Amino acid sequence: MNMRTDIAAADSVAAPEPIMSERRVSLIGGLMVAIGPISLALFTPAMPEIVNAFGTTEAAVKMTLSLYFGGFAFAQLVCGPLSDGFGRRPITLVFMAIYLAASVLALLAPNIETLVAARFLQGVGAAVGVSVSRAVVRDVFTHERSARIMNMIGILLALGPAIAPTLGGLTMEFFGWHAIFIVMVLLGVVVMLVTVFALRETVQRDLSRIRPGALFRSYGSLLSSPYFVLCSLVIAGTSGAIYTQATVLAFILMERVGLTATQFGLGMLMQTANFMLGALITRRLMPRFGAPRLVPVGLVFVALGSISMAVVLRLYEPTFLLVMGPIGIYAFGIAMVLPAMMTAALAPFPKNAGAASAMMGFFQMGAGLVGGTISAMIGDPVTALATVIPIMGLMAIVSWLTWSRLPEPSIMTRLK
C-alpha cells in the first residue's frame, strides 16, 4: 500500500519558528494527557476495598469507572470546541477547576452514590487534558514533527499510569483509600500551575467557532469523513482497550489470582513497560521508516495479544503471567499504532483542531465506556477480558485495513 508520501520532505520546507519547542510541547502535552489515565489508574487498587468500605457491590463500584469514562468521553465534545473559540489556556483552567472540585468531593464522599457522582465530574474535568493537548500539538506542529511529539507524549503518558497503580496501592495500604484523592488534588494543582506559567496560547479567540451552527457543521464534517472516522476507530480499538481492561483487571488479579493492592500496582508495570518499549522502538524507527509504516507492525502485535487472550484465558485458570502476558503484547502494539494514526486523524482539520481532537478522544474514551459496560454485563471478569478486548483488537485491524485503501483528503499533505 502507498502509505502517504514522505513527511520528512514536508518538514524540510522552511517554516516559521514555533512559539514553543518540541520538548516543551511534549512535556506539557504529556502531563495534560496523563491526568485522565492517572486518575483512573490511581483508583483501581482501591476498588475491592471500597466495596467493603461502603457495604456495596462490585457492580456499584464499577459504576465509578463507567461514569468516569462517560464524563470523560462526552465532556471532550464540549471542551474541544470551546478551546477553539475561547483559547486553549482559559478552557484548560476552567475544566481543571471542575476536576479539583470533584476530587475534593470524592475525598469527602459519605456514600457510594456521592463517590459515583464525583468520579463522573472528575472525568468531565480531566477530559480537557486529552483534547487540548492534542490540539496544541496540531496548532504548533504538523507531519513528522507532530508524530514525534505524539510519540513522546505516549512515552510520558505511559510513565504516569506505570507509577499510578503502584502509588495508589501503597497510598491505600499506608494511608487508606481516601488519601488517593488527595494525590489527585495535588495533581490537578500541578496541571493548573503548568497551564498558567508554561503553556502559551496557540489559537486566536474566535467565538464564531462555538456558535451552534458552526459546531454542528464542524462535527458533521468530522463524522462524514470516512478518513477521520476510521482513524478514530483504530485509536479506539487499541488505546480504548486499556481503559476497558481497567474495569476488570483489579478484580481478576486481586480476587482470582490473589494479589495484594501493592502487588497489583507493581504488576501493572508489565503492561506499561511493554508500552514504553514499543514507544521507544517506534521513536528509534520513525526517522528511517516513517511513523505510518509502523502501524501494520503494531497491529500484528495487537492481533497476537488478542488471540492469546481469547484462547489462553478460556483454557486455563488465570495466573499473573497468563493475564498480563497477552496484555503486554497488546500494549506493545498500541505504542506503534498511535503516533501515526493520531497525526493522520488531526492533519486535515487545522481550523478546528480542538473539535477534531475532542471527537477523536470521544471515540477513544467511548470505546472504554462501551467495553467496560459490556464487561460488567458479562459478569465474570475473566470471560469479559477474553471476549471484549479481542473484539476491540479486531475492530482496530479491520478499520485500518479499510482506511489504508481510502483516497487521502485533498487538503492534507500526503503522509507516508
**The predicted structure's pLDDT at residue 237:** 92
Max avg pLDDT among 122-126, 129-133, 159-163: 122-126
The better pLDDT of the pair 19, 158 is held by: 19
DSSP code for 407: P
Q: How far is 190 from 100, CA to CA, in rounded Å? A: 11
- CA 33 centroid distance within chain: 7
Decide: residue 56, CB within 10 A, 0-12 exposed, 13-18 middle, 19+ buried: middle
- Is pLDDT above 90 for 401? yes
- Is pLDDT above 60 for 9? no
Locate 336 and state its grid cell.
506503534
Portion of the chain with pLDDT greater than 70, in percent = 88
Give residue-wise pLDDT tens across range 205-231: 877 777 777 778 878 888 888 999 999
With a CB cutoff of 8 Å and minimum separation 6, the contacts of 28 are: 20, 133, 136, 194, 198, 199
Portion of the chain with pLDDT greater than 90, in percent = 26
The HSE-up count of residue 160 (CA atoms within 13 Å, CB side) is 24
Give residue-wise pLDDT tens across range 107-126: 898 888 899 999 999 999 99
- Is pLDDT above 60 for 354? yes
- Is pLDDT above 70 for 365? yes
Locate 300 and state its grid cell.
500484528
**The predicted structure's pLDDT at residue 160:** 64
Q: What proportions of the chain, in percent to the nearest 5, are helix, strand and coil?
A: 80, 0, 20
Q: How confident is the model at residue 155 (pLDDT cuts 50, 70, 90)?
A: low
- Is pLDDT above 80 for 203? no
Give residue-wise pLDDT tens across range 70-103: 888 788 888 877 887 888 899 999 999 999 999 9
- Mean pLDDT throughout 140-157? 69
Q: How far is 152 from 115, CA to CA, in rounded Å? A: 34
- Is pLDDT above 50 for 413? no
Q: How far is 46 from 74, CA to CA, in rounded Å? A: 25
All structural domains of the chain with their residue ranges:
21-201+212-403
- Is pLDDT above 50 for 416? no
Compute, in degrees rounded to 10, the torsion defined by CA atoms 17, 22, 24, 28. 120
DSSP 191-253: HHHHHHHTPPP-S---GGGGSHHHHHHHHHHHHT-HHHHHHHHHHHHHHHHHHHHHTTHHHII
Q: How confident is the model at residue 298 (pLDDT cuts 50, 70, 90)?
A: very high
**The predicted structure's pLDDT at residue 158:** 57
CA nearest to 243, candidates 320, 331, 306: 331
**The predicted structure's pLDDT at residue 143:** 64
CATH of 21-201+212-403, one of 3.30.365.10, 1.25.40.10, 1.20.1250.20, 1.20.1630.10: 1.20.1250.20
Dihedral sign computed on CA atoms, order 42, 301, 398, 316? negative
- Is pLDDT above 70 for 32? yes
The better pLDDT of the pair 249, 176 is held by: 249
Rg from Cα positions in the chain: 20
With a CB cutoff of 8 Å and minimum separation 6, the contacts of 118 are: 102, 103, 105, 106, 109
Q: How far is 338 from 89, CA to CA, in rounded Å? A: 25
Q: How far is 270 from 283, CA to CA, in rounded Å? A: 20
CA distances from 390 to 178, 233, 322, 402 (A): 35, 14, 15, 18
Largest CA distance in the chain: 63
DSSP 335-362: HHHHHHHHHHHHTT-STTHHHHHHHHHH
- CA 8 centroid distance within chain: 27
Q: How far is 242 from 364, CA to CA, in rounded Å? A: 10
Among the listed ranges 3-12, 21-30, 80-89, 187-196, which one has the minimum average pLDDT value? 3-12
What is the average pLDDT score of the chain?
82
**The predicted structure's pLDDT at residue 55:** 80
